[in-house]
Amino acid sequence: MPLLRVEDVWKTYPDGTTAVRGVTFEADRGIVMLMGPNGSGKTTTLEMIAGALRPSKGRIVVCGHDMWSGPRLPPRRCIGYSPQEPPRVRNLTVLEYLVWTGLLRGMGFREAGRRARRLLDTVGLEAHASKRPTQLSGGMRKRLIIASALMGDPRILVLDEPTSGLDPAARRELWTLVRRLSGDRLVVASTHIAVDAEEHADKVLIFYKGRIAAEGPPERLIKQYAPPASILVRLEEPLESPPGTLGGARLSQREGEMLRYSSEDPDRDLPAVVEGLTRLGARVRSLTLSRPGLAEVYLRLTGSSLAG
């Protein structure tokens, strides 16, 4: 049985707004990312998985326990939930905040203290234990939220936009940490950043208007849905009759000294394009290779961008 199973889950609010429409998927370890712009239903889905929000319809099974039918404690003990921002708790240090989180999860004071210190070392915040959370940088606060979600040693870690607001270097560092922490856990995270999903997800769920438009490993989604790669060639002078095909690349655009070739396999076709044009006497000024990714997949599937 998978660690997480989501079956035909809907969420409609009292004002009639339906945020999630028939979402179904299952996952069992690794990093699963819900990818889509703000308002696509990602956060609502994560809140329902974490037990913070009741579905209007459907079933969520966590570690073999139905989240909303039967005892509530077993499935919630299986999950660690990390919201986008930590709760505002005044006058607590970073260490005290983690201990407080452990106490809320039913730990004794000594156990919570030991666990908090181990996690601070794990996430690289041991030198900042005596600071207030408000004194931490954005990346450090994200690490603190993740450490808080790990206090109960959950089998499923739920992360809502864990890298929002971070620069690319800080995002890579955080995803590296998440990968290291995943181990035998299942990590379910949301993101609106295509490159994060491409580089760090084992499985991607593409969310659009509350539904899953497609799901699968990033490389398979790109191969199945993305447009061909583009080889942009700028010549020193226009070529009177550029070839329509070079290797497996096909001429898709021509404007003066600029030629654009579409290619399903740019690693194979790029040398063929350069060699073919050179053989005709053309002098290549520059080459630009554009590979499609999940951003292009999202655009092709939904007709809108990840920016919303």
The pLDDT, as a whole number, for residue 70 is: 81
Is 271 found in the same domain as 211? no
Specify whether 65 is located in the same domain as 210. Answer: yes
Q: Which residues of 242-266 are buried (b: 16+ CB within 10 A; e: fewer)?
A: bbeebbbbbbeeeeeeebbbbbeeb
CA nearest to 286, candidates 248, 231, 228: 231
pLDDT of residue 165: 87
In a domain, 279, yes or no: yes
Distance of alpha carbon 269 from alpha carbon 264, whole angstroms: 8
Q: Does residue 305 belong to any structural domain of this protein? A: no
pLDDT at position 226, please? Answer: 93
Identity (one letter) of the amino acid at 276? G
Instruction: Answer yes or no: do 123 and 254 share one domain.
Output: no
CATH code, domain with 276: 3.30.70.1560
In degrees, to the nearest 5, what angle opens at C-alpha 21 toward C-alphas 227 and 149? 90
Domain total in the chain: 2
CATH of the domain at 162: 3.40.50.300
Say whether both 263 and 148 belong to one domain: no
> Does some domain include residue 32?
yes
Q: Which of 176, 191, 224 is the last residue of a domain?
A: 224
In a domain, 20, yes or no: yes
Q: Are residues 174 and 131 in the same domain?
A: yes
In a domain, 51, yes or no: yes
- Give the per-residue pLDDT at 71: 85
> Is 197 found in the same domain as 257?
no
- Average pLDDT by stretches of 10, the chain with 308 residues: 95 96 96 96 96 96 92 89 76 92 91 95 94 89 92 94 90 93 92 95 97 97 94 95 95 96 94 96 95 95 86
Q: Do 166 and 255 belong to one domain?
A: no
Looking at the structure, tell me whether residues 203 and 245 fall in a common domain.
Answer: no
In a domain, 308, yes or no: no
pTM score, whole prediction: 0.87
Residue 304 resides in a domain: no
Sign of the dihedral through C-alpha 88, 89, 90, 96: negative
Q: Which one of 224, 250, 281 terminates a domain?
A: 224
Single-letter amino acid, residue 246: L
Residues 157 and 99 in one domain: yes
User: Residue 87: what pLDDT?
Assistant: 67
For tokens 């939904």, name the residue.
302
Which single residue is written with the structure tokens 């580089």?
A: 199
Question: With left for phi above 0 and alpha for psi between -120 and 50, is residue 199 left, alpha or beta?
Answer: alpha
Whether 303 is in a domain gets the answer no
Range of the domain at 47: 4-224
Angle of CA points 167, 173, 174, to nearest 5°: 90
Same domain, 18 and 147: yes
Final residue of a domain: which of 224, 243, 267? 224
Q: What is the pLDDT of residue 159?
A: 95
Contact between residue 101 and residue 173 where contact means Cβ atoms under 8 Å apart:
no
- The CA-based angle 58-62-64, given to 5 degrees, is 105
Whether residues 64 and 147 fall in one domain: yes
Asked if residue 146 and residue 66 are part of one domain, the reply reads yes
Q: Are the C-beta atoms of residues 22 and 10 closer than 8 Å to each other? A: yes
